[in-house]
Amino acid sequence: MTKAKILIVDDRPENLLTLESLLDNPDVDVIRANSGGEALAKTLDHDFALVLLDVQMPDMDGYEVAELMRGNKNTRNIPIIFVTAKVDNMNQVFRGYESGAVDYLFKPLDAKVFQSKVGIFLDLFRQKAQLEQKTRELDAKVVELEELQQILEETNEQLRLLSAMDGLTGLLNRRRFDEILQEEWQRCLRDGCPLSLLLVDIDHFKAYNDSYGHLMGDNCLKKVSGMLANSLQRHVDKVARYGGEEFTIVLPSTDEEGAMQVAERMRANVEELGIEHCDSDTCGNVTISVGVGSVMPKADGSSHNLLDQADKALYKAKKEGRNRCCTIRHC
């Protein structure tokens, strides 16, 4: 533990020697000052547990020193004990308390009384030091907990994002798609906007897997899913892996004509990838079929109706030769 510092102030060397002898303690560091001015200078350089201050000194007496210490925010809380000869006029004692003293010690000093009073302030100083140390430790723990909280929040956010993603393609997964579809249905219902949905199926994908193996099949899924995502031009449009070789795209505030344009762009971009598919009955490369559904959401309607519409359109696209985009009304 750091030694407690006590400042003793007296213009007479013999008095300082007496105080030093009474303060002889390995846990105490005694600092001398021979005048009020020197005492004030010492208070700027040290953190004192206690000041033992003589009242009668030339140039600047103890009252003035105490008043100046109380007027300084850095020293106002240092306890001051006046050390003086016994006084007959109690007004002098009152003046000392008004100046900022916390106690008096009268000469000649009684060793037991002296050490008892000084010991009280040393204990208070040590308790204060321990409290400050505990406060610093607590502050450090608070900072540590805040940092851990931040890490936890970031980790939870990462987990949330991972739980919403398809592990193979990096697209949104089916569960997150269902949430987004419902959110967009409600938003478009509130705003009076159309909502469109695309269902995409990779043509003859089972035959591709059988011919090229599942590893190549996974690579094919990654390439197609990446192209579908890159074909979108608005951040509000979302693409998800619906399951197996099927994908779905939510297009808020988009009518059937706009949805067909997006679908055709996707179909053409996937075909241009040029992924070889020798067992395709449609084309020598990997292609997709797209079903387009589009509705104006109503309060008594359901997003499931939109999904069913897109599913029927996809079935129509497959039935009419694949590698095409269809609505339930036309291809």
Query: Which stretches does DSSP call E strand in the chain?
Result: 4-9, 28-33, 48-54, 80-85, 103-107, 195-202, 238-243, 246-252, 288-295, 325-326
- Omega before residue 108 within 30° of 0, cis: yes
Label the pairing between strands 246-252 and 195-202.
antiparallel
Q: Provide CB contacts within 8 A for 174, sequence distance 6+.
A: 240, 241, 242, 243
**H/E segment holding residue 304:** helix 303-319
What is the reported pLDDT for 96?
81
The CATH code of domain 4-133 reads 3.40.50.2300
For the stretch 161-215, pLDDT in tens is: 778 899 899 999 999 999 999 999 999 999 999 999 999 999 999 999 999 999 9
Vertex 71 angle, CA 114 and 22, to 5°: 15
What is the reported pLDDT for 89?
66
Question: Residue 32 pLDDT more than 80?
Answer: yes
Label the pairing between strands 48-54 and 4-9.
parallel
Question: Residue 223 pLDDT more than 90?
Answer: yes
The CATH code of domain 174-326 reads 3.30.70.270
For the stretch 93-140, pLDDT in tens is: 788 888 888 988 888 888 999 999 999 989 988 898 899 899 999 999
Q: Active-site residue 183, yes or no?
A: no
Distance, CA of 198 to CA of 293 (rounded, Å): 6
What is the reported pLDDT for 87?
67
Q: What is the average pLDDT across 70-92?
A: 84
Question: Residue 290 pLDDT more than 90?
Answer: yes
Please say whether the beta carbons of 153 and 145 come within 8 A: no
Q: What is the pTM of this model?
A: 0.59
Query: What are the start and end residues of each CATH 3.40.50.2300 domain in the chain?
Result: 4-133
**H/E segment holding residue 133:** helix 111-163
Distance, CA of 314 to CA of 223 (rounded, Å): 21
Label the pairing between strands 238-243 and 246-252.
antiparallel
What is the reported pLDDT for 276?
95
**Average pLDDT in the chain:** 92
CA-CA distances (angstroms) from residue 71 to 33, 50, 285? 20, 17, 89
What is the reported pLDDT for 88?
63
Sheet with 80-85, side-by-side order of all strands: 28-33, 4-9, 48-54, 80-85, 103-107
Of 67, 146, 157, 245, which is the active-site residue? Answer: 245
Q: What is the average pLDDT across 259-277?
A: 96
For the stretch 320-330, pLDDT in tens is: 999 999 999 88
What is the reported pLDDT for 10?
93
What is the reported pLDDT for 27?
87
Vertex 125 angle, CA 124 and 130, to 5°: 95
What is the reported pLDDT for 97?
83
Query: What are the start and end residues of each CATH 3.30.70.270 domain in the chain?
Result: 174-326
For the stretch 36-78, pLDDT in tens is: 999 999 998 899 999 999 998 988 999 999 999 999 999 999 9
* pLDDT interval class at 2 (50, 70, 90): confident
Distance, CA of 322 to CA of 331 (rounded, Å): 11
